[in-house]
């Protein structure tokens, strides 16, 4: 849904809920990562884009309340966040994202006033498209406009990442929050997660489209898989004697193979290869060399499947179907995107073939898994914006 339509829907919902129009409105997008998976917390490169799916927040001062009340239109429940004292974790669970961001502003010495907020998101939950980062960045953007204090974009993204670490207990890297803050229309963001320097890579060829397929599965693991991967990467770096896997080479890894647990070795092999693939993919995109970019995407998927072991049967099924369709059928490349264990794949396709490809993937995926996929296309979108205020 385009942002204009979404905005008028949220304006109406706020007015119906609170009996008056909102004073402020902001939006922050979800993201899809074209390539560079599980590299951000290894100081590597990532290449995401913001998507045309947003978390919108509308707000006003309350008529009577001393807390920030956030009404979520999806769960149809309100979180009451008491802002006259330091914020703690609390219920409902989703409220920990806004709680963490409010805490970050308080830490910066900002006094947060009581607010009536309505929250409406079109970013699919649990789809690996960073609904949580969109929520955090949306809250941060709202607080910027409410307090009148704009934060430097890097600091803003880091504040949101900290909220996720401390209030949601997820030790994520910096990719999701950075792209939700810094996305640009028709551009990918090549982010160096060590220096935090960004470079915009145009993706504006009308003949090429980014196709996202949601497997509509989310394998509930214990939640320990992500932190475990991080630890394995740190262990590999330690054995290699480097500060992070960004500093390691494939040759050094081979030399150290005998001194390494085989699983740790494979994790490191993924990360080292993926950092290289990401840099090459950015070059390929700048040169409009779509077949090369596509091959790098497939290689990324195999590495995530075999070495990093964060894929699942449903994601693999989509990638296999994509490969069978091939460049002749309009697909340059396809891979899982995001943390893994379900969620979405991302594919680079010929725009003219989108309809035929979508039909074929939907049918074949249904046949193989008995699950309906959700398929959509997104242009690279802009990062967080103030709509009203
Ligand atoms: C999640 C995290 C990101 C990143 C990806 C994997 O989305 O939030 O920081 O590590 O997984 O690339």
- Checking if the pLDDT of 204 tops 90, the result is yes
* 318-330: average pLDDT: 98
Q: Which two tokens stand for residue 342?
A: 């379900």
- The three-state secondary structure class of 1 is coil
Answer yes or no: is pLDDT of 77 > 80. yes
**Ligand 1 pocket member 273 (CB < 6 A):** no
Q: What is the pLDDT of residue 1?
A: 67
- Segment (H or E) for 318: helix 313-325
pLDDT of 243 above 70: yes
Say whether pLDDT at 138 is over 90: yes
Cα separation, 223 vs 381, whole angstroms: 30
pLDDT digits (tens, 9 = 90+) for 82-134: 999 899 999 999 999 999 999 999 999 999 999 999 999 999 988 899 999 99
pLDDT band at 222 (very low <50, low <70, confident <90, very high): low
The pLDDT of residue 353 is: 98
Q: What is the pLDDT of residues 379-389, one digit of tens each?
A: 999 999 999 99
Please, are residues 148 and 128 in contact by the beta-carbon 8 Å criterion?
no
Q: How far is the CA of 209 from the centre of ligand 1 (A)?
A: 23
Pick from 306, 386, 357, 322: nearest CA to 146 = 386
* Residue 136 CB less than 6 A away from ligand 1: no
Confirm or reject: Cβ of 41 under 6 Å from ligand 1. Answer: yes
Q: Residue 221: pLDDT band by 50, 70, 90 thresholds?
A: low
- pLDDT category, 312, cuts 50, 70, 90? very high
Residue 233 has pLDDT above 90, yes or no: yes
Q: What distance in angstroms lies between residue 142's CA and the mean position of ligand 1's atoms?
A: 24
Contact criterion met (CB below 8 Å) for 94 and 79 = yes
Average pLDDT for 184-197: 98
Q: Give the residue whose CA is nearest to atom 9 of ligand 1.
A: 173
The fraction of the chain above a pLDDT of 70, given in percent, is: 99
Q: Are strands 115-121 and 67-72 parallel, antiparallel or unpaired?
A: parallel
172 Cβ closer than 6 Å to some ligand 1 atom: yes
Give the residue-averaged pLDDT of 24-42. Answer: 98
pLDDT of residue 9: 95
**Mean predicted confidence (pLDDT) in 236-258:** 98
* Residue 341 in contact with ligand 1 by CB distance below 6 A: no
Tokens standing for 130? Answer: 């960073």
Backbone conformation region of residue 327, classed left if phi is above 0, alpha if psi is from -120 to 50, else beta: alpha
Average pLDDT over residues 219-238: 90
339 lines ligand 1 (CB under 6 A): yes
* Mean pLDDT across the chain: 96
Residue 49 has pLDDT above 70, yes or no: yes
**Mean pLDDT throughout 182-191?**
98
Closest-lying ligand 1 atom to the alpha carbon of residue 339 = 11
| Average pLDDT of the segment spanning 312-338 | 98
Cβ neighbours of 371 (radius 10 Å): 13
For atom 2 of ligand 1, which residue has the closest CA? 172
Please identify, by atom number, the ligand 1 atom nearest to the C-alpha of residue 39. Answer: 12
The two most distant CA atoms of the chain are separated, in Å, by 68
- Token couple for 186: 């028709």
pTM here? Answer: 0.97
CB environment 109-143: b (16+ within 10 A), e (fewer): ebebebbbbbbbbbbbeebbbbbbbbbbbbbbbbb
Question: How far is residue 389's CA from residue 26's CA, in Å, rounded to a whole number?
Answer: 8
pLDDT band at 63 (very low <50, low <70, confident <90, very high): confident
């Amino acid at each position: 849904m385009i942002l204009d339509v979404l905005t008028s829907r949220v304006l109406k919902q706020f007015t119906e809920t609170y009996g008056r129009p909102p004073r402020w409105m902001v939006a922050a997008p979800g993201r899809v990562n074209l390539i560079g998976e599980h590299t951000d917390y290894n100081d590597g490169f990532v290449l995401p884009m913001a998507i045309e799916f947003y978390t919108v927040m509308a707000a006003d001062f309350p008529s009577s309340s001393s807390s920030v009340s956030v009404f979520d239109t999806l769960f149809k429940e309100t979180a009451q966040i008491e802002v006259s004292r330091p914020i703690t974790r609390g219920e409902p669970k989703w409220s920990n994202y806004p709680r963490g961001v409010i805490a970050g502003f308080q830490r910066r010495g900002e006094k947060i006033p009581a607010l009536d907020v309505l929250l409406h998101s079109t970013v699919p939950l649990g789809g690996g498209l960073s609904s949580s980062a969109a929520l955090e960045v949306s809250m941060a953007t709202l607080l910027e406009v409410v307090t009148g204090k704009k934060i430097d974009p890097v600091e803003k993204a880091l504040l949101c990442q900290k909220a996720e670490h401390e209030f949601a207990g997820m030790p994520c890297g910096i990719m999701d929050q950075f792209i939700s803050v810094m996305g640009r229309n028709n551009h990918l963001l090549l982010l160096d997660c060590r220096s935090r320097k960004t470079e915009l890579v145009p993706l504006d060829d009308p003949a090429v489209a980014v196709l996202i397929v949601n497997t509509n599965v989310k394998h509930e693991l214990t939640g320990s898989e992500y932190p475990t991967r991080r630890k394995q990467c740190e262990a590999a770096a330690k054995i290699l004697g480097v500060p992070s896997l960004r500093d390691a080479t494939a040759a050094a890894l081979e030399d150290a193979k005998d001194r390494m647990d085989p699983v740790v070795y494979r994790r490191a092999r993924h990360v080292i290869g993926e950092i290289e693939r990401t840099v090459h993919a950015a070059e390929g995109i700048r040169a409009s060399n779509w077949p090369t970019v596509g091959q790098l995407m497939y290689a990324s998927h195999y590495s995530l499947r075999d070495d990093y072991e964060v894929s699942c049967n449903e994601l693999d099924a989509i990638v296999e179907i994509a490969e069978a369709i091939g460049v002749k059928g309009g697909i340059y490349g396809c891979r899982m995107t995001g943390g893994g264990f379900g969620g979405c794949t991302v594919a680079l396709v010929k725009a003219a073939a989108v309809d035929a490809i979508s039909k074929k993937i939907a049918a074949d995926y249904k046949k193989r898994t008995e699950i309906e996929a959700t398929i959509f296309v997104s242009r690279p979108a802009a990062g967080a914006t103030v709509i009203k205020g």
